[in-house]
Amino acid sequence: GQNIDQPTEMTATEGAIVQINCTYQTSGFNGLFWYQQHAGEAPTFLSYNVLDGLEEKGRFSSFLSRSKGYSYLLLKELQMKDSASYLCAGMDSNYQLIWGAGTKLIIKP
C-alpha cells in the first residue's frame, strides 16, 4: 500500500532550527512535495524534490533520499509566523499525490 509518515507535532524555539522528517511508500515515485498550512487556511506550496539531495530556498530547505524513502524539511531562524502544519506528499506513478497527515509545528518565544 501507499503511505506517508510524519510526526504529529513538534515544538521549537524562535530563532532555532527544526527538521521535520517524512518517510514515504508509494507505487512508483514522481517526487516529494512539502506544503505549509496555517490553521483555517489552505495549503501553500513550499518545495519539490525528485532527485537525491538538498534543495535550499531561503530559510527553508528540503532533502530527499530515494533509496531510503525519506525526506526532511529544514526550517532555519524560526519565526513565530512559521507556526503551522507542514504536509509531506509523495507523487506516485499515476502522478497522484499521497498526503501525510501533517506535522503541527509550535514555535515558542
Q: State the residues that interact with other proteins by CB under 8 A.
A: 30-31, 33, 40-45, 48, 50, 87, 91, 95-97, 99-102
Q: Is the Cβ of residue 43 or residue 69 nearer to other proteins in the bound state? A: 43
**Sequence-ordered strand ranges (E) for the chain:** 3-5, 9-13, 18-25, 32-37, 44-49, 53-57, 60-65, 70-75, 84-91, 97-99, 103-108
Q: Minimum CB separation from other proteins for residue 52, in Å?
A: 14
Closest CB to other proteins among residues 16, 50: 50
Give me the least distance between CB of 81 and other proteins, in Å please: 18
